[in-house]
Structure 1
Amino acid sequence: MNKGYKNIKVIGFDADDTLWINETYFREAEIEFGNILSQYETLNKIDQELFKMEIRNLPLYGYGVKAFTLSMVESALELSNHNVSPKTIEAILNIGKDMLNKPVELLDGVEDVLKALSKKYRLILATKGDLLDQERKLEKSGLTNYFHHIEVLSDKKEDNYSKLLNHLDIKPSEFLMIGNSLKSDVLPLVNIKAHAVHVPFHTTWEHEQVTEKETNGKDYKTIKSLRDLLELMN
């Protein structure tokens, strides 16, 4: 075991792109959206404007497929100068519905890792997004029973994590967070003196990317696969 983890009692897991595939579906949806609106703008411009709209709407809509769908509709209206047809709006709404109906595809080794760690540690799920959608994915995943607590956060900043740990009576020094996003799952924990392990996913939303300057000097581990966590904790 890594000597820095000897006091760990609780391990938190991110959900999307840590336990199951998620961002891949958003990339596919963006391509489909671009094709639908290609008569109005270039694909690159459509992608840029959609991202700007998502960021603008984050304080209002939060994260998740529903927020993304609303941003697609608003972007379509702007990009078309409000000339987009009702049929096109319907097609955009169907992109969102298709995303919500996607199967939950677990990443390699997820259940084996949770099963092994749950014998020694208390496990919690700490994710952000739309509550109904995250509950749906968790139910489909078959992983619910491995977690002592499940929390869907509006955001994943230092204050959100501090409130969660206080609520569950967990000391930061006894908590380890596992996730694919440096911005959401790693740096906030390091900053409140908890522990974190980064498990990169091959696709990362632009909003979740961080600079080398932001990670410089930060104390966290990076592993290639969730399976490597077992070796780290043994």
Structure 2
Amino acid sequence: MFVNNKVSASERRNGSYASKGCIEPSLRSFFWKKVILTKNGGNIRRAGENQEKEGRKMEKQTILFNLDDTLAYCNRYFNQVIGMFVDQMTTWFDSLTREEIRQKQLEIDLEAISAHGLRSDRFPESFVNSYYYFCDLTGKEKKKSNIEFLRELGFKVFKIPVEPLPFMNETLKRLKDEGHELYLHTGGDEANQRRKIAQLELTTYFDHRIFISEHKDTTALSDILKTIDADPEITWMIGNSLRTDIVPALEKELNAIYIPAEIEWQYNEVEVKVEPKGAYFTLNTLSEVPDAIGHHILKEGRFKNNYDQVYDTDYRKEKEDNLFT
């Protein structure tokens, strides 16, 4: 989490904890009153249900989420099907290693993205084209039945019911309840992404604010930002892909949150050479996102109206020991 140092009550009272990377002393009175955190079953949550009704409100942020491997599992299903593909290929080509087959399929798949984008049909075709390649390499006959089998196998990945990542619903609900405007910016073809959106009931949080790009890059993001008239200073991109989420966001001078996937696709892994103009966080889970954004807003002092910094000291003393413990 973005604040992960345990601090004693005495350190909080005298301000010495500031050097430990926690919240600045100037923000303490507001933070104690508004965003007191408590442990609940090992997960961090906000205490109190009516903070938004008290005091000053955080300035509304524009928050764009990626879908695959940010909000819901994706690569684990592709890896399962690729494993089935490799199993079958080794029965047809017993002289090949599993790694040779995997690497060729990956190479062909990545080449297809450059030409056709993130269309779903390129994945089954990577199986077929790998089969063609190894038939030519080994002098084996290309069999129509094998080609049909591999194409059908590749399409199976798009029929697997999608599963949300931990804290997906809780995170999106909290951000929505806090008044932020949520957008979905996902890569892929319309039919497959709409299938996932429907299964996950994501319109509950995003309504019609959904963008699907076959070529998910800086140009696609730029078009979205123009469409929604986004202010970069209060706009965030959240995703697991350095290539399609983080680098485009930084190039457009947005705030960015990178949440590494449990299993990453090689296509998503690139070096980030862009200097951030705003916030740029790396977090472990979705559950950390609202507090990371909230802490940044506190630090930047972005609020809708004034808040009385003086309030009952007994209330403060009662609550302060719950902070980060």
CA deviation string 1:175-202 (max 9, x = no partner): 1011011121112111111111011111
Amino acid at match of 1:57: A
Q: More deviation in 57-66 or 157-166?
A: 57-66
CA deviation string 1:65-104 (max 9, x = no partner): 3211112111111111262322322321222232111011
**Who is 1:29 aligned against?**
81
* Equivalence map 1:188-207=2 (5 Å): 188-207=248-267
CA distance in 1, matches of 2:155, 2:111: 22
| Structure 1 residue 83 corresponds to structure 2 residue 83 | no
CA contact (8 A) 1:65 1:99 kept: no
Q: Relative to structure 1, is the Cα distance of residues 110 and 26 closer, same or farther in structure 2, using a 3 angstrom cutoff?
A: same
CA contact (8 A) 2:60 2:181 kept: no
**Who is 2:109 aligned against?**
54
**Who is 2:70 aligned against?**
18
The runs of 5 or more residues in structure 1 that have no matched partner are: none
Correspondent of 2:121 among 45, 66, 72: 66
CA distance in 2, matches of 1:45, 1:65: 23
When the two structures are superposed, what TM-score results if normalisation uses the length of structure 1? 0.90
Q: More deviation in 82-91 or 102-111?
A: 82-91
**Who is 1:221 aligned against?**
281
**Who is 1:95 aligned against?**
153
CA contact (8 A) 1:13 1:177 kept: yes
Percent identical:
26
CA distance in 2, matches of 1:67, 1:130: 11
**Who is 2:184 aligned against?**
125
Amino acid at match of 2:81: A
When the two structures are superposed, what TM-score results if normalisation uses the length of structure 2? 0.66
What secondary structure, in the 3-state scheme, does the structure 2 residue paired with 1:151 have?
strand
CA contact (8 A) 2:238 2:258 kept: yes
Q: Please tell me whether Structure 1 or Structure 2 has the larger radius of gyration of its CA atoms.
A: 2
CA distance in 1, matches of 2:231, 2:248: 15
CA distance in 1, matches of 2:214, 2:129: 22
Displacement of 1:233 in angstroms is: 2.7
| Structure 1 residue 172 corresponds to structure 2 residue 232 | yes
**Who is 2:163 aligned against?**
105
What secondary structure, in the 3-state scheme, does the structure 2 residue paired with 1:80 have?
helix
Aligned residue pairs total: 230
CA contact (8 A) 1:65 1:96 kept: no
CA distance in 2, matches of 1:197, 1:229: 8
Q: Relative to structure 1, is the Cα distance of residues 114 and 10 closer, same or farther in structure 2, using a 3 angstrom cutoff?
A: same
CA contact (8 A) 1:18 1:201 kept: yes
CA distance in 1, matches of 2:81, 2:119: 13
Amino acid at match of 2:155: K
CA distance in 1, matches of 2:73, 2:273: 25
Correspondent of 1:139 among 198, 202, 219: 198
Displacement of 1:215 in angstroms is: 4.8
Displacement of 1:8 in angstroms is: 5.6
CA distance in 2, matches of 1:175, 1:9: 6
Q: Relative to structure 1, is the Cα distance of residues 42 and 172 closer, same or farther in structure 2, using a 3 angstrom cutoff?
A: same
